[in-house]
Structure 1
Amino acid sequence: MSPSPSPSAARGSRLALLVVVLCWLAVLFDGLDMFVYGSVLPHMLESKALGITPAQAGDLGSYATFGMLVGALTAGTVADRIGRKKLMVACATLFSLASGICALSGSVAVFGLGRTLAGVGLGGLLPTAISMVSDYARGGRAALTIGALMTAHHAGGILSAYVAKWLVEPHGWRSAFWVCVLPLLFVPVLAKALPESLSFLVAKGRTDEARSLAARYGTELPTATAPKAPADRWDALLGLFRGGEWLQTLLHWLASFGGLLLVYGVATWLPTLMRGEGYNLGSALTFVVLFNLGGIVGMLVAGRASDLPHARLRSRGGTPTGAPRISAIWFALTAAGVFLLSVRMPLGVTFLVVFLTGVFLNSAQTMIYATVSIRSSPGNRATAVGWTSGMGRFGAVFGPWLGGQLLAAGHGDWGFTAFALAGLSSMVLIGVAALRSGRRPEPSDAPQELIAAG
């Protein structure tokens, strides 16, 4: 008979569950706000809402992803100053109010301002939520916990499709953005019920507060670590370019650029491009649901796939090849799936292709981060992955813009082909990076956490 868990372990589990549930709901609203624009875009273009053109639609999609770039790059610094809890509350408030600006907008410029501000909130919330659940994850479950958290982002995408399907036709596109204001009702709950990060409390010297919180829920205090000096951070960045590492670094950055171009390009333009292929609006929005269901499955699979470097999948020279091999294969499968969407197929087959594309697309990008992690030294890993993600976000800005330019030029049928080529380029780049890697880390040098794609 197995022993029952101790009271302190049970309290620690309840705290971890509380944090995961609250962060999951926050990320759900984050996903809803992120994907709602793509879901309502076909209706906005057909009704010529705000006088919007396809080129302007692409620009507007890029405004949100540019805001996400700003939010993601500043989230760490702001969180270190005010705390992760306060930053999450601020980000949820910002993207909810920004959706109100979109709903009230009378011009493309005001709408664009709303999407940019929403992007800042969206970009700041996701990495902060990941840090929070990592802080409270039970031993050995960080990857699984983060994978579960990331399902909320895609659940928000599914919700956005149903919001568009049920509200936009009878009530207009503004109604969808009013729904995205409703998370303001969740903000007081988040502010009251979410505990502050124990790591932040310890780092700020608020040890009594951290000890009291840890004792209340029977969890352990994290070890205090000294923050890096600016000189150390710059030295870590320069280390990515020393010797022969500069080419490896650029290959990883370019692969991440193509991967996120693909992720956000498809997320923004999938319903509109499928409408252009002759599907009705209901079917086009069903594709959004299936794509995000695939993303949920892919994120859960990526939680397990992040352990592939530990499986000792090796080349002849002894270098672990699991993560880059999976990334290259999955980008190839993603490219094939995206290209097939430009071909008229039976509806059931198209549904299956969209679902599988969602599975592979989101996890392929995750494996780029896993590749960078396993081929970096422990002291330089955070810098290597952070900059790979940051450079990739320029692709997230470029993808929606590219789709709009192709549609404006009357080449909407080339949209899927362009996105497929981005997938193929990432496949080649990550493959070449793997072949050129001369680093042979021991298994203990491998990452223990899944890094989310986005």
Structure 2
Amino acid sequence: MSSSPSSSPSPAVSPRVGRLALLVIGLCWLAVLFDGLDMFIYGSVLPHLLETKTFGLTADQAGDLGSYATFGMLVGALTAGTVADRIGRKQLMIGCVTLFSLASGICAVSGSVEVFGLGRTLAGVGLGGLLPTAISMVSDYAPRGRTALTIGMLMTAHHAGGILSAYVAKWLVEPVGWRAAFWVCVLPLLFVPVLLKLLPESLSFLVAKGRTDEAHALAERFEVQLPAAAGKKTAADRWDALLALFRGGEWLQTLLYWLASFGGLLLVYGVATWLPTLMRAEGYELANALTFVVVFNLGGIVGMLVAGRAADRFGAPRISAIWFALTAIGVFLLGVHMNQAVTMLVVFLTGVFLNSAQTMIYATVSIRSTPDNRATAVGWTSGMGRFGAVFGPWLGGQLLASGNGDWGFTSFAIAGLSSMVFIGIAALRSSKQGERVGVEQELVGTH
């Protein structure tokens, strides 16, 4: 019996990276680059905004503004999946790029803190929705066996955007003004027609919507594997998956993962927002303070490429705990005035460990979860961590406003130590539970 197109086997994947995979990865990489530029630009121009007292801006208001963007990211991240299921991954990516670009235009023309804050909040919604959508896209089109490597490559774009933000600030803020930096962040609008024309729709979305002929044509033409059709989950199924995270003794394990993620993202976004300003407070010139942003994000790129390999060899929980400990040491040392070359090295190493430590939390949760509950466990761990992302920029502003700026790096270091403790305890409990289950299974087998 001949099989219909919708039930035919998936095409074999070429050992080389297919043309479509390169196209999708390249387009998503550029979109995430713009995401990183827009995310980091506020921290890069913040020292100038405070020194010139733009809008009468104070340190505590600056912290609030930083939290507006991360709150918007929380909203965007939590709603991205639902919206993408309705309109498609491609359309959501285009919408996110359009939103954060236009929102930067609002910041560029703003005449008050309130309007500027609105722009940053709307930008955050677009930024928060883009990254998980881009990850889903490249996961669909990555060649077989190279998904993790492909996602790692995609994540380097975010840090490349951070590097670009520092150079935009260095080149434009002093001679032209801070508004020019935000006008640069509007330019990704020119990328939208490229996405409309060249970016294909997600294979998973096409399969889920029953557009199997279209999905098969893309998969066969560009030699990528067609994802299996997944059963549609009801609201009751999603609610049951969430409740499963708290049944039995799982509630404590879940809480530990959430607390570790909270501290990790507090650290990531607190440092990303306040690094140039805190380095200025340590006595460095603005140009040098922005150079630290470049070095920090270079470290982030290296860390993303190294952490996955280390986790595959030694285990994600162990690497996450060690990475957070090393991050805490590095962040604490940034508050100690050292030789500039030594400080650059510390900033680089802190970037290596800080950015990938949080990623290893997600890897740990993914590994320790059951296949049918993995997406829920990782999604909620990320979502709870986003509250830390909101809190981090606010905390830095409050410390500076109260004259306790010296405690900025120390506070972020404490957050790193707390995440190390939480992920370490969670990993130990999980290992002991696994050993107990194994012993019980052996005892059952002997009867």
Give how far 1:111 is off: 0.2
Indicate the residue corresponding to 1:250 in structure 2: 255
Q: Which residue among 176, 181, 185 is the counterpart of 2:181?
A: 176
| Aligned-partner Cα distance in 2 for 1:145–1:221 | 17
Q: Which residue among 214, 224, 229 is the counterpart of 1:224?
A: 229
Indicate the residue corresponding to 1:351 in structure 2: 344
Counterpart contact for 1:338–1:357, Cα < 8 Å:
yes
User: How large is the Cα RMSD of the aligned pairs?
Assistant: 1.5
Is 1:383 equivalent to 2:383 in the alignment? no
Give how far 1:89 is off: 0.3
Indicate the residue corresponding to 1:35 in structure 2: 40
Indicate the residue corresponding to 2:442 in structure 1: none
Task: Evaluate the alpha carbon distance shift between residue 88 and residue 335 of structure 1 in structure 2; reply closer, same or farther with a 3 A threshold.
Answer: same
Counterpart contact for 2:144–2:225, Cα < 8 Å:
no
Is 1:191 equivalent to 2:196 in the alignment? yes
Give how far 1:81 is off: 0.3
Give how far 1:339 is off: 0.4
Indicate the residue corresponding to 2:420 in structure 1: 427
Give how far 1:302 is off: 2.5
| Aligned-partner Cα distance in 1 for 2:192–2:433 | 46
| Aligned-partner Cα distance in 1 for 2:224–2:334 | 49
Give how far 1:213 is off: 2.1
Is 1:413 equivalent to 2:406 in the alignment? yes
Give me the identity figure in percent: 83
Indicate the residue corresponding to 1:148 in structure 2: 153
Give how far 1:215 is off: 3.0
The 5 Å alignment of 1:34-433 reads: 34-308=39-313, 322-433=315-426
| Aligned-partner Cα distance in 1 for 2:247–2:15 | 48
The aligned amino acid for 1:95 is F
Give how far 1:7 is off: 11
| Aligned-partner Cα distance in 2 for 1:330–1:439 | 24
Give how far 1:50 is off: 1.3
The aligned amino acid for 1:232 is D
Counterpart contact for 2:268–2:355, Cα < 8 Å:
yes
The aligned amino acid for 1:31 is G
Counterpart contact for 2:307–2:319, Cα < 8 Å:
no
- Equivalent residues, number: 424
| Aligned-partner Cα distance in 2 for 1:221–1:332 | 41
The aligned amino acid for 2:333 is L
Task: Evaluate the alpha carbon distance shift between residue 8 and residue 356 of structure 1 in structure 2; reply closer, same or farther with a 3 A threshold.
Answer: closer
| Aligned-partner Cα distance in 2 for 1:395–1:220 | 37
SS at match of 2:49: helix
Counterpart contact for 1:135–1:199, Cα < 8 Å:
yes
| Aligned-partner Cα distance in 2 for 1:174–1:439 | 55
Task: Evaluate the alpha carbon distance shift between residue 368 and residue 257 of structure 1 in structure 2; reply closer, same or farther with a 3 A threshold.
Answer: same
| Aligned-partner Cα distance in 1 for 2:260–2:12 | 47
Structure 2: runs of 5+ lacking an equivalent? 1-10, 436-447
SS at match of 1:279: coil
| Aligned-partner Cα distance in 2 for 1:8–1:435 | 39
Task: Evaluate the alpha carbon distance shift between residue 377 and residue 220 of structure 1 in structure 2; reply closer, same or farther with a 3 A threshold.
Answer: closer
| Aligned-partner Cα distance in 1 for 2:329–2:385 | 21
The aligned amino acid for 2:340 is L
| Aligned-partner Cα distance in 2 for 1:11–1:214 | 15
Counterpart contact for 1:35–1:268, Cα < 8 Å:
yes
Give how far 1:307 is off: 2.1
The aligned amino acid for 1:136 is Y
SS at match of 1:411: coil
Counterpart contact for 2:13–2:225, Cα < 8 Å:
no
SS at match of 1:145: helix
Counterpart contact for 1:375–1:439, Cα < 8 Å:
no
Give TM-score scaled by structure 2 length.
0.93
Give how far 1:264 is off: 0.2
Task: Evaluate the alpha carbon distance shift between residue 228 and residue 280 of structure 1 in structure 2; reply closer, same or farther with a 3 A threshold.
Answer: same
Q: Deviations over 1:34-67 (max 9, x none)?
A: 0000000000000011111100000000000000
| Aligned-partner Cα distance in 1 for 2:146–2:307 | 13
Indicate the residue corresponding to 2:444 in structure 1: none
Give how far 1:287 is off: 0.3
Give how far 1:280 is off: 0.2
Q: Which moved more, 1:430-439 or 1:85-94?
A: 430-439
| Aligned-partner Cα distance in 2 for 1:260–1:432 | 19
Counterpart contact for 2:320–2:420, Cα < 8 Å:
yes
| Aligned-partner Cα distance in 2 for 1:221–1:436 | 37
| Aligned-partner Cα distance in 2 for 1:331–1:230 | 36
Q: Deviations over 1:382-430 (max 9, x none)?
A: 1111111100000000000000000010111110000000001111111
Give how far 1:90 is off: 0.3
Structure 1: runs of 5+ lacking an equivalent? 1-5, 314-321, 442-454
| Aligned-partner Cα distance in 2 for 1:7–1:425 | 46
Q: Deviations over 1:233-253 (max 9, x none)?
A: 111111111111111110110
Give how far 1:372 is off: 1.1
The aligned amino acid for 2:348 is F
Counterpart contact for 1:11–1:217, Cα < 8 Å:
no
The aligned amino acid for 1:249 is T
The aligned amino acid for 2:22 is L
SS at match of 1:183: helix
